Structure 1
Amino acid sequence: MNQHNLIHDSADEYGPIRVIDVGQYRILSFAEGDEQSRIRLASPHILQHEYTQAMMLPLLFIQPKRVCILGLGGGALVNALYHSVPSIQITAVELRQEVLDTAQMYFKLPQGKRINFVVDNAASFLDKGLDKKVDLLMTDIYHTEGMDRSVLATSFIENCARNIKENGWLVLNCWSDYKNHEGLSELLKDNFVDVRALDTGTGNWVVIACKKTHTVNAKAMKAMAQKLSTSLDIPLTKWLSRLAEIS
């Protein structure tokens, strides 16, 4: 049995921040029994949580040059994109300075001129407008109580669309409870043309959306997914098979 080793235990105004080593893995936790982030210490760029793997699906349609990630956690998405997409420019927005400090200390985040870490409220940051529109906007905003419901707000989705390039993609990580949230689905379809989603089967509902329609032959798409699965070392073909349009 793997031994649990608590290597960091702190708190801020939003709640606890703990880092736990379990065998070859390192976990960031905001609450008892919670896994906010997980990395394999020997290969932190390989995504461990299934929902983060599914969030890579837009790479089948676009090779992003500029990405904004809302919600840093342990930085798994930052690590994967930085490692797999040449010359990518990443802005990662995190509400909690203590979370950013913890991620940089314990989760092997890449550093350099191509990454900009910002401490701010994600909704406020978007509302102010990005310096430049992005190819990929990813939201993974969770706290001690679970998913941040600001993601469901009309203004939030509208601001997402406003800050994404015409051929860029939005990726939302939601609780699977929101699959039947009619308001969110309608809001997404009001602001995006191509809206697809999948249930990971592990409690997450991942939505990807673009302002343009993308039509790719199914056979060609599967071949691209197999190639990308190899380079990312994740089962992207599995997640592609579950992806469907939101009707």
Structure 2
Amino acid sequence: MRKLTVRCLLLVGVTLFSNASIAKVIHSERSLYRNILVEETGDLRCLKFDEKTRQSSQSCMYKSKPKKLVFNYTKLTFASLLMIDNPKNVLIIGLGGGTLSNVIHELYPQATIKNVEIDPAVIKVARDYFDFKESEKVTSKVQDGRIFIKRAALKKQTFDWIILDAFNGDYIPEHLLTKEFFEEIKSVLAEGGIVAANTFSSSKLYEHESATYHAVFGDFINVTTAKKSNRIILAGFNKAPTKEHLTERVKKLAPLLAPYSIDIDAVSKGMRSTKNNQDWPSDTKVLTDQYSPANLLNF
């Protein structure tokens, strides 16, 4: 899933590590792309990609309460359901421990969910250590997310919920942050569908990412919390929801999402449209395949 920085760890550390347990490595391997670690700290099991510092977590779960979501960004992702109802074709780019896929499958068992992950070792770890569930409806494919999108477009495939959650241990891969890629995403987005992208509010790429999403999708919605370390970008919708619509959706979704520790009412209050609220300079340079210096700007 996504990188949890030292800064973010400080924000959630009291909750996650209050038992002061010492982390225990229960699995370690070097894949084609990265170092992979699975660590346990008391009741918490985490997937990490940084063997040297172990300061980043891509996915975590409570062993005693696997349904309860650990990370704030995961909960914010479900703001998507305030924009769409009963998704039928879901695409997730970036697997991590498979948490998003598992929750969506439980909520919408008839939905087809395609998980795309470039690293086969991550898929195996998700199966072995994080209870990632697969079936006829839920599949995983080893492929670069951009290649998958290109081929899906050629096949005229569309998805009504596209979740971008690919991280390489440092940040979002550069080729998954460009105007050209977002245009490819838009080409496979079903009418009335939604794109949800996991990113940082604190990144130096914030303005560039915002300008790039806006260049392709027009006005979008930022979903954040008061601490504003994470943000989910909701884009691709035709019309922003009214206050009345949000109230109705919150009422319907609240009991369904509560078992996963998602306070959808609180999440809805963190939604802010960029319409009349553009918080980046109008001359901000858009990221393209020719100009995407993510490695220089992300921190």
Superposition TM-score, scaled by structure 2 size: 0.76
1:193–1:56 CA distance, 2 compared to 1 (3 A): same
Name the SS for the 2:104 alignment partner: helix
Aligned to 2:109: 86
In structure 1, C-alpha distance between the alignment counterparts of 2:205 and 2:48, rounded to whole Å: 28
> 1: CA distance between counterparts of 2:125 and 2:172?
20
Distance, in Å, in 1 between the alignment partners of 2:228 and 2:214 is 25
Q: Which amino acid aligns with 1:245?
A: S
* 2:162 equivalent to 1:134: no
User: Unmatched 5+ residue regions in structure 1?
Assistant: none
Secondary structure of 1:42's counterpart equals: coil
Which amino acid in structure 1 is aligned with residue 166 of structure 2? I
- Among candidates 57, 66, 76, match of residue 44 of structure 1: 66
Deviation at 1:232, TM superposition (A): 3.9
Residue 228 of structure 1 contacts residue 236 of structure 1 at CA under 8 Å; is this kept in 2?
no
**Alpha-carbon deviations, 1:125-144, whole Å to 9, x = none?**
11222552111000111112
Q: Which amino acid aligns with 1:189?
A: H
Q: Note if contact 1:4-1:21 (Cα within 8 Å) is conserved in structure 2.
A: yes
Aligned to 1:25: 44
Distance (whole Å) between structure 2 residues aligned to residue 178 and residue 35 of structure 1: 17
Residue identity opposite 2:112 in structure 1: Q
How far residue 235 of structure 1 moved from its aligned partner, in angstroms, is 1.7
How many residues are matched? Answer: 247
CA distance in 1, matches of 2:131, 2:228: 26
1:122 aligns with 2:145: yes
Map Cα deviations across residues 150-180 of structure 1 (whole Å, 9 max, x no partner). Answer: 2321111111111110100000011224587
**Conserved in 2, the CA contact under 8 Å of 1:194 and 1:213?**
no
In structure 2, the partner of 1:58 is: 80
Q: Distance in 2 between matches of 1:3 and 1:202?
A: 29
Q: 2:248 aligns with which of 200, 205, 220?
A: 220
Unaligned residue ranges in structure 2 (runs of 5+): 1-19, 279-299
- The residue aligned with 2:295 is none
Contact 1:55 1:206 in 2 (8 A): yes
Checking the alignment, whether the CA contact within 8 Å between 1:72 and 1:140 is kept in structure 2 is: yes
Range with greater deviation from structure 2 (138-147 or 113-122): 138-147
Q: CA–CA distance in 2 between the matches of 1:61 and 1:152?
A: 23
Paired residues of 2:67 and 2:259 also in contact (CA < 8 A): no
Please give the TM-score of this superposition, normalised by the length of structure 1.
0.91
RMSD over aligned CA atoms reads: 2.1
User: Is 1:95 the counterpart of 2:118 in the alignment?
Assistant: yes
Max Rg structure = 2
For residues 70 and 273 of structure 2, what CA distance do their matches in structure 1 show? 26
More displaced 10-residue stretch of structure 1: 75-84 or 201-210: 201-210
Distance 2:206 2:65 in 1: 36
SS of 2:47's partner is: strand
Q: What are the equivalent positions in structure 2 for 1:1-247 lying under 5 Å apart?
A: 1-31=20-50, 32-62=54-84, 63-129=86-152, 131=155, 132-178=157-203, 181-193=206-218, 195-200=220-225, 201=227, 203-216=229-242, 217=244, 218-224=246-252, 226-230=254-258, 232-246=260-274, 247=278
Instruction: Kindly indicate which of the two structures has a greater share of residues assigned to strand.
Output: 1
